[in-house]
Amino acid sequence: MLNRRTLLASGAALLAAPRLGRAQTVVGVTSDEIKIGSIMPYSGPASAYGAIGRLQQVFFKAINDAGGISGRKINFISLDDGYQPPKTVEQTRRLVEQDRVAFLFNTLGTPGNTAIQRYVNQRKVPHLFLATGADKWGNPQEFPWTIGYQPSYRTEAQIFTKYMLEHDRNAKLGILYQNDDFGKDYVAGVRDVLGTRFDAVVKMVSYEVTDATIDSQVVQLHGSGVDCLLTAATPKFAAQTIRKVFDIGWRPKMHFMTDVSISVASVMNPAGPEKGVGILTAAYLKEPTDPTWQADPGMNEWRAWMRQHMPDADMTDGNYPYSYSVTKCIMQVLTQCNGDFSRENIMKQATSLNNVVIPTLINGITVSTSATNFHPIRKMQLAKWDGKTWERFGGLIEGAG
């Protein structure tokens, strides 16, 4: 009788215990599927960025149609947060706790990613290639599960400020910035260069993402006597700024625009392309309207892909070359995983990229990461809006990262 009870207990324990096979022990991964989660502002004040997520959905479907990755189809779950951090938190919890994704990919926005960063690191969920250039995504000591993708906003602001001083040592700079970590990174970058001169040189005005317009902020900066302008705004407000600056007759000596708001389709054309002539930015992506890239093999690859998979998309929208670049990058990571999609190995491969060439990045700019380098892209090139496209000039500039 004792032996029978022992056997029954042992059998129950075996039934209750999880199998040790791959399908049962790797979160978000089965023998035929890998779940990837993402959060995009398909609605709300930053909805122009929704194009990024739409391309990714089509891209992963095309991968699945071609057989998937390592014998598995990609189940890509991309949710809308309306660019509202509380909603980002809610959607992240759903992806991690309910959908049980293997990792988060290219979640968009500095405010939303800030709201979830500590949570996903505590859960040890890979938080990969964020769609935001906040400098703090490169902090492996405190947040080893979070890594950015694009160049740091802070580095970009340093580049702008150095350029301004090289051309006018007595310039007075106005900064129009979004009142969150995205906008404040630009303020920090300017302060890095100006140091103790900051207060004498700079006037700052912020806006909230819930504001209807930034007209009053532009008028305020114009009235303060500054002769240069740095705009750190998402596309809707960037277009408003360009239009208002022009309409009130303000002609800054130099107007710098964040690289995340230079899309011809979602910023320059809505503002009025003639109203932004002379605006400066720092680019790392090939601009789809730039004739320089007409015969470029990388852009030809992107154009061919778009014609096949998204024929109705606006080919002047810079969000598409961006989305293509970061999605090609995550495919490189998945390929390097060689079938081992444990969270630990995914993170290891994401931080083991060695000069990866991406078709839509400016030639000479590659993606590199390591255990101590969580800034995958460090180089940029200055560009000026000529009314039709962004004309690049000068050489590649590498930030401190």
Query: What is the spatial distance between Cα 356 and Cα 333, in angstroms, rounded to a whole number?
Result: 10
| Distance, C-alpha 241 to centroid of its chain | 22
Confidence of residue 7 (pLDDT cuts 50, 70, 90): very low
| Distance, C-alpha 103 to centroid of its chain | 16
Mind listing the pLDDT tens digit for each residue in 375-400? 999 999 999 999 999 999 999 997 54
Query: What is the spatial distance between Cα 266 and Cα 68, in angstroms, rounded to a whole number?
Result: 32
Mind listing the pLDDT tens digit for each residue in 95-130? 999 999 999 999 999 999 999 999 999 999 999 999
Mind listing the pLDDT tens digit for each residue in 16-59? 333 333 334 799 999 999 999 999 999 999 999 999 999 999 99
Neighbours of 94 (CB within 10 A): 15
- To the nearest 10 degrees (0 to 180), the angle between helices 319-337 and 343-350 is 120
Q: How far is CA 383 from CA 188, 193, 394, in A?
A: 22, 20, 8
Q: How far is CA 248 from CA 203, 241, 270, 321, in A?
A: 19, 11, 17, 33
Structural domains in the chain? 20-151+300-381 (3.40.50.2300), 156-283 (3.40.50.2300)
pLDDT value of position 4: 41
pLDDT value of position 154: 94
pLDDT value of position 284: 97
Q: Is 187 left (phi over 0), alpha (psi -120 to 50) or beta?
A: alpha
